[in-house]
Chain A
Amino acid sequence: MKRKTKLWVGSGIFCLLALLISSWYSVTFNGSRLVVPMDFDTYAFQPRDPPMIFSVSIACIYLLGLFFTLFLKGLRSRQSVARSNTTRSLNPRLGFLGLLGFLGFAGFWTYSVNGTIFPFAFFLFFGFFGFYYEGKMSGTFMDERFRENAVQASLKASNITFTILFIALVLLCQGRLMGNPEYTLIGFVITLSLALALRIFLSEYLLYRYDHEELPAEGEE
């Protein structure tokens, strides 16, 4: 692991530990202040608040720093791809991130507990399975056939996605799903997330298939 990565992982673990310890401190000695939801309009500083304030502050700084670093890295990677005319280097194992899509099922739990539906959007992470195929095409020289295939794959993926969305919209807009408008909204959020995930995955999968299908044996002729 690179030194910078180690530093980020180490800092992340430190922030997490700081949050856990300060939360424990607040719950044990400070009446759960700043842990349970509270009205900040009437907030008054108390001598036992600093641990929680400190840990939340460093966690926010860490997340902001991580976001900007990843953003800059992505930007640099794009520039490097444009310069070298090859696809970006990616480990196919990143495709396992697609498993995060199962977090979407947490939406059924959060909806039943407090009516929150945003976790259904996590179904979008299923699209990360596309990293597997993108990783398999890492560092591929992008000649005109590759670029044509990429456009073709992207168009086909978009067509399939929009067709699914259109059908889902027509069906869901017929009226209430199981007699409940909220279920209809949930159905739409799930469909939208899954359709977008499919769009992300399919464009990579189809590009890989177009690029590799009917490829002759490795011999010269």
Chain B
Amino acid sequence: MAEFECRLKQYRQLKGLSQEQLAAKVGVRRETIIRLEKAQYNPSLKLAIDISRAVDAPIEDIFIFE
């Protein structure tokens, strides 16, 4: 798996969403959001797009691959 940095936490907080709310919005479990924020999970393209729409930020700004 490629190393990547995830800025989901800051975009989520900017949007005023809790982990639980974001998880419900994109159809995953809260644990998945936690792991995404810790860059411990590499999401599918669909999930990445869903998250970017949910937090109103471009994918490349949320997930930064080295």
Residues of A participating in the B interface, judged by any CB pair closer than 8 Å: 140-141, 143-146, 211, 214-216, 220-221
Contacts and interface: CB of A to CB of B under 8 A. Distances in A.
B18 A146 contact: no
16 contacts: A143-B27, A143-B28, A143-B29, A144-B28, A144-B32, A144-B44, A144-B46, A144-B47, A145-B32, A145-B41, A211-B31, A214-B40, A215-B31, A216-B34, A216-B38, A221-B19
Given A214-B40, A215-B34, A216-B34, A145 B28 contact: yes
Nearest to A141: B29
Interface in B1-57: 9, 18-19, 27-29, 31-32, 34-35, 38, 40-41, 43-44, 46-47
Interface residues of B, number: 17
Contacts of A215: 31, 34
B31 to A, nearest CB: 6
A147 B61 CA distance: 26
A195 B55 CA distance: 47
Nearest to B20: A220
A145 B29 contact: yes
Contacts of A220: 18-19
Contact of A146 (B19, B29, B43): B29
B43 to A, nearest CB: 7
A164 to B, nearest CB: 28
Contact of B43 (A140, A144, A216, A221): A144
A146 B40 CA distance: 14
A174 to B, nearest CB: 41
A143 B32 contact: yes
Given A144-B43, A145-B32, A216-B34, 4 more contacts: A144-B44, A145-B41, A146-B29, A221-B19
A126 to B, nearest CB: 30
